[in-house]
Structure 1
């Protein structure tokens, strides 16, 4: 393990210490390690469209926007190989909140997410990507077979 030293002005250090307390970190080092891991992972995902990932896409949309609900559903069906699950929550008379669990290459997942967020009437879209490695390892010889629908495991970080 390598040790680094970081200097912060008093105001930023105080705000950071409050975050550490709020999120129940045991030390500044643990919090900084998580921030660095997140930055490294974000950079890694930005650089590789072929990396496998799982993702959560969340967005709010106005269901009264002409044919938007149907267009969103059509997009999900057209990308059924990426869409694992969706949840739909009615917020009020015109707004709905949807969250989609996606799985596939970063490029394809981002492409779908960008297309959905670009639809007129969709607002507040956000995506969280987590890289995974294909993992078809089985411990027992009589374990099941996947027929091209293998497991994925979190990327070690």
Structure 2
């Protein structure tokens, strides 16, 4: 069910919204506003009981004393949440890492924030995506019938 509502924007904000709409490839303002609202609500999603996935991306100076070891230690201590990490060398001093986390929202957020708070992490961002519970049997095109043990998107 779709609910309609009206909002008023000054000309500058409306022009900014139109620019966002074009940049994101949205076909209309409603679609652009729905994207903005979903993103804002997801950023504030901290439901303790719901599962989520998150991508934590951060840049750090690999010369920072023991930082690499501290980051690895965090992920080993939370092996139930840390799924995978991609490590990219940016230059002689800086590395970019992207870590995928999965689990209860509060625990994922806590680990992500602890990672970004480490001394030597220069910039970071968390993209948290809540998961809906998905249960029951289902069948794939190849006829395989099974139950997923993890929540689905």
Instruction: Indicate the TM-score class for this superposition, using the shorter chain for normalisation.
Output: 0.7 to 0.9
Query: 2:108 aligns to what?
Result: 109
**In the alignment, which residue of structure 2 is the partner of 1:9?**
10
> 2 CA distance for matches of 1:51 and 1:67?
34
Q: What does 1:20-59 correspond to in 2, within 5 Å?
A: 20-43=21-44, 45-46=45-46, 48-59=47-58
Cα distance change of structure 1 residues 116 and 24 upon mapping to structure 2, 3 Å threshold: same
* CA positional deviation for 1:34: 1.9
Shift of 1:30: 1.1
2:136 paired with 1:137:
yes
Partner SS for 1:13: helix
Aligned match of 1:88: 87
SS at match of 1:152: coil
Q: Which digits, 9 at most, give the CA deviation of each residue in 1:52-104, with x for residues without a partner?
A: 10000000111111111111111111111101111000011111000001100
SS in 2 for 1:58: strand
Q: Aligned residue pairs: how many?
A: 149
Partner Cα separation in structure 1 for residue 66 and residue 51 of structure 2? 32
Q: Which runs of 5+ in 1 are unaligned?
A: none
Per the alignment, residue 126 of structure 2 pairs with: 127
How far apart are 1:152 and its partner, in Å? 1.8
